Structure 1
Amino acid sequence: MPIEIGVAIFREGARTAKEVAYVTAGRLIRRYQDFCLSKGINFTRFESVQPHDETTLFCSAGMQQYKSFFSDPSYIGTVANSQACLRMGDLDEIGDGTHFLHFTMLGLFSFREMTVGEAIDFWLEFLETLGLVPDHVTIHPDRLTEWSPLYRGRVPIIPDSECTWSDGSISGYCTEFHKGAVEIGNIVNPLGTCIDAGFGLERLDVIVNGIPADNALTTLRDTAMKVIESGYRPGNKEQGYVLRKLLRRICVMGGILDHPFFEEEVERQKRLRAKYVRLRDRYADKSPEWWFDTHGIDVAEMRQLDRG
């Protein structure tokens, strides 16, 4: 098969799979939105991964924009959202069906208004509308006696000393929901007075709609496109550097992305490859750090291309 035809078939198949995923994910978001509105809770949808403050390069959690509300003891209220998030810390774990880099968080945030028990009832009721009952939940031992009765025997409970959360300035105990050995969401009790709950849309989609989990290349492609759609372009610093890293990883893995930025990165990698081949014998004693700092060449990736 000519490579042009193969690429065309690949692109069409990728578009079809993406359209199916978007449709089912969109339906889940709409169901969550309708559920929140039925409870009198305002709902907002955020598609961009641009951060809401300067603490991160990308929005990494739905609560990021509400930090000031958590910290203000005079603020009282409850809101909900769906927030596009990106966590590069999961880069080496993608492809396992539970780590996505870019994902959508379904969030519920209450500031000195909703109790932990009410948040538990809220999420169990919403999950029930999806036909989903958690296999078990976990609770920190320090809150086991207080929070266990809030489940009223509806779900098995397991103590877990890791059920805590912190963003560096705000922290609290949490209870986590699990299905099929995967954590699908949690309810955090920041400062002991607030609610910060988040459930992963993609994980719910896999369980509820049977949508196959993405492989590593699909995850990389989707994440790169989300960064581009959020207004960033490849560069040497901050978000641009992350985007370039994603494009480079797709290239090294032999993937394809139908976008000019990727085509530019492929040409850039060809130039770096030619430079590496020309210089590697002369500087065979140099460390990988020297190659990267001096020439922008990732020796490990060049060797991976050699093996490919």
Structure 2
Amino acid sequence: MTSTSTLSPPFSALPIDKSGPPLNAWGLHGPEDEKGRLNLITPKCVKRGTDTITEGVVVNLNLPLSFNPVHASRAPMERKIKCSGHSNDDILTFNTQCSTQWDGLRHYAYQNWPEEGKFTFYGGMDIKEASNPNIKKYGVHHYAEKPITSRAHLLDIPLYLSTHNLPPIEAFSNAHPIPLSILQACAAEYNVDIQPGDILLVRTGFTEAIEAKSPEEREGLKKREKNESCGVEASEELFAWHWDEGIAAVASDCPSYETWPVAPNKLSCHQVFLAGWGLPIGELFDLRELSKRCQKYKRWTFFFTSMGLYVEGGIATPPNAQAIF
């Protein structure tokens, strides 16, 4: 059943800014808004999340920062120890998207909008402004000032597919995206009741697939002509479902929430969610232990907390995320 948020008009009302790109929600929360869909997370939503805590069990949702990134252009973390003779300091150098991450609102733009060669971010920010390190607007510090913390749900797609003897997901291919019908069927089977301000996690099994690869095989994957990966199907019906359900943030265990790359000239979740709605996208979350706990407790709803790095104007951030049962 679809729940339309009292803070949002229906999907059919999009775009909000009629002069802006397709399906945008620019200006919905005021002209100075920088929090996007995180505005849906009210104190009531947080309380609804804490009400799910019955076991007192905490589950880590982060891969190590030393995880070998799957994106060829993102270098792995480098670590040095500075010894002063009586104490030690860590010095870390890393791409904020080398491991588990939240994409910020300055990460991905509407492609070739309003014209070829133009790239437009949330609220109309252009690529020059979004790339300026001296500008703080739309940075991931908002994920720290207003932590991504609420009730959350896991849609365990590999579990659902195996239960129904359906073909498994191909981790390193975009040929068979997860359709909305499977997401909805999975939610119904595991009694997931999404309410406005909730967070949605989608497990694909990508983490297990990449962890099973040798270092040489991982390097080979990076050198493919197309760096394909699994994910949900970016479609207008999927966008409508996420909007009308009032989902405040999404995350998955694959490199991109949607299959990547998307078809040419087709809107991606990255364009609509990040640049259109200000909806955070989490990638490469470690959902393995979470899946086990959900099966053990026979519930796929829990309290979710995430406090990103307080980097003013930051592009992305490790989530420091956990689920609490």
- The answer to whether TM tops 0.5 is no
Larger Rg: 1
TM-score range, shorter chain: under 0.3
Larger relative contact order (Cα-Cα within 8 Å, sequence gap ≥ 6): 2
